[in-house]
Amino acid sequence: MEKITVTINGKVCSGERGDTILNIAAANGIIIPTLCHHYNVKHYGACGICVVEMENSPKLLRACSTVASDGAVYFTESQRVIKVRKIALELLMSDHEGDCRGPCSLNCPAGTDCQGYVKAIAQGDNRHAVEIIKEKIPLPASIGRVCPHPCETACRRAHVEEPISIAFLKYYAADKVLASDDPVIPKPESVSGKTVGVIGGGPGGLTAAYFLSLAGHSVTAYDAMPKMGGMLRYGIPEYRLPKSVLDKEIAEIVSAGVKMENNIKIGTDITLSQLREKHDAVVVAIGAWNNMGLRCKGEDLTGVMGGIEFLRKVALGQPSGIGKSVAIVGGGNTAMDACRTAVRAGAENVYVIYRRTRDEMPAEDIEIDEAIEEGVTFKFLTNPAEIIGENGKVSAVKLQVMELGEPDASGRRSPVPVEGKFETLQVDSVICAIGQKVNVSGFEELELNSRGIISADEHTFATSVPGVFAVGDATNRGASIAIEAIGEANKAAMVIDGYLAGMDTPYRKPYVSERNTEDIDFSRFEKCARTKMPVRPAEERKHDFKEVNLGFSEDAAIAEAKRCLECGCHDYKDCKLIKYANMYDLDADRFAGEKHSCFVEKKLEVIERNQGKCILCNLCVRECKEVAGKGILGLVDRGFKTVIRPEFRDSSVISGCADCLACVDACPTGALKFIGNKK
């Protein structure tokens, strides 16, 4: 064949006369996006994504169907090309009706592929489940036990009966793998020669260290406490998270290459400036270890302490000093941890003081229920007006009786005092669990925001000091749940990895397609009750710190996992449409309007067609005709109403579909799915 030469994006490329621009580019390592082209079939030029610009040409060319001209100069990413390509993608996405990812994954701050690991558990493959989880979370057994599971809040199974027990399934699979001889410990693929110092050994710091180590960097984590784990160790009670489990997971992070140094306090043992000199990048993940004050008379008395302070004392084996009667102020999970720990620490009368009703409590219902079972008394609609003392020590707490008024900014009704109405509790101590704040001692050179919290860019996680990044509770919005810190640390690790390679790569939230829940018919799903976590009896568990939950059996876990509706697209990771959509800053709402009718059909018996995900690229039609030689699929109707449907006279026509699957392999969006062998 006669050779020709063209220039693409400044690179001189050789090809054969008669070759398309697309083929020559691909042969020379230049990728031009396309959705309707496949090497098996003739070029078609339908999607408009593969357009390129030719020098001195007034019009754009479709690279998949345009034969290259000898000596021509082409540009695949010019401003004109990007504009047209973006419009083409926006038009396609405006008519796309499908979930790229399940709402569980989208609502997980770490972006965990919940659907993926739940499906693996349903198939009995716990190791693969953990592999999926560890793509985002290096501490699955620990986090599965303590996470308040925002994934379950978004679970569409709730529209049938109850959400799937996603968090407990996470720790079920993780426990199984931890107990096996085949742990999931990824290794770095390369060595960068760069070093990173991570300050803080909590969930955020450990996550950043883990993923930066896997990226090939030499990572050292520093922590002020005797052992790593942060709030997972010193703020979560043993009965919720056995520290033997946490220890195993931290050991796996060490096995992944992270070095750890404890009892290192910044500003005392080493300065931030010294760490900056020692490392190519520094990550600050120090958490929020100080307690918010009650701001009432008597809060400086002996016997008044913070919730985190109390939990830390117990975790370290120190005397708690709470006495026989204790009041815990607050309504969150820390307050629940404190009151249930107080019971186990020997308190005979444990009260929870909360200024709203139970309906407004942010703590999980299961935590409240189990606290009540263990003997905790809840004093709703009360608030400390004064802590009373004798000889400088707490003796009682005076409570202002409250009532609910109008909703506040959080949507909860605001508590207002009932004038002149009080009650008094005789107590030996008061534990304040109404919030946490950051101790920035040793980090004075970093810029703080108006709340006294470290200020970090929300897209690059960079602080005011070059080379220093910050994540988690110590930044911007303040204290939150562990999975929030993990998610932020995961994103920051990607940004820092780019920074160490000399690239400025701010984190950008991936673009995804989401279905409108109102359009889904949930009545077609058979109701199946959520599997309940078995727990130890209250009269037994309240006297010790052994784990409360007994864990799922294998049969129970598999049955629970099988309740998943599999909302997210089965082909998300390989979907070309969403891959290209994320290469450009799309605004699909720009062309919002009428959509094709969306239906799922199984007339091919072994192949499921989802019309909502179809982009009419016609690849399946051409594969079936040109490759399989069957011509089962075809375009039906005209204009906007055009859809692809199977058309055949008898079932024998599709008898070979299960062995062919050419259409499924070629589909660029996941509109086609293999659903099993024909019976």
pLDDT in tens, 217-258: 999 999 999 999 999 999 999 999 999 999 999 999 999 999
- 332-342: average pLDDT: 97
Contact in structure between 404 and 373 (CB atoms under 8 Å) = no
Q: Round to whole Å and give the CA distance between 621 and 645.
A: 9
| Confidence at residue 447, expressed as pLDDT on a 0 to 100 scale | 96
Considering the domain 596-674 in this protein, what is its CATH number? 3.30.70.20
| Confidence at residue 112, expressed as pLDDT on a 0 to 100 scale | 97
pLDDT, averaged across the chain: 94
Question: Would you place residue 646 in the very low, low, confident or very high pLDDT band (cuts 50, 70, 90)?
Answer: confident
Q: Among residues of the chain, what percentage have pLDDT more than 90?
A: 82
pLDDT at residue 529 above 50?
A: yes
pLDDT at residue 421 above 70?
A: yes
Contact in structure between 666 and 600 (CB atoms under 8 Å) = no
Q: Round to whole Å and give the CA distance between 549 and 542.
A: 13
pLDDT at residue 679 above 50?
A: no
Considering the domain 3-94 in this protein, what is its CATH number? 3.10.20.740
Contact in structure between 106 and 511 (CB atoms under 8 Å) = no
| Confidence at residue 643, expressed as pLDDT on a 0 to 100 scale | 87
Q: Are strands 290-291 and 3-8 parallel, antiparallel or unpaired?
A: unpaired
Least confident among 309-313, 503-507, 641-645: 641-645
Of 211, 236, 233, 212, residue with least CA distance to 223: 233
Q: Round to whole Å and give the CA distance between 425 and 114.
A: 46
For the chain, domain boundaries? 3-94, 103-184+512-561, 291-436, 596-674
| Confidence at residue 677, expressed as pLDDT on a 0 to 100 scale | 62
Instruction: Mention the CATH class of domain 103-184+512-561.
Output: mainly alpha
pLDDT at residue 588 above 90?
A: no
| Confidence at residue 595, expressed as pLDDT on a 0 to 100 scale | 78
Name the CATH architecture for the domain at 291-436.
Answer: 3-Layer(bba) Sandwich (3.50)
Token pair for 157:
């199974």
pLDDT at residue 104 above 80?
A: yes
| Confidence at residue 523, expressed as pLDDT on a 0 to 100 scale | 92
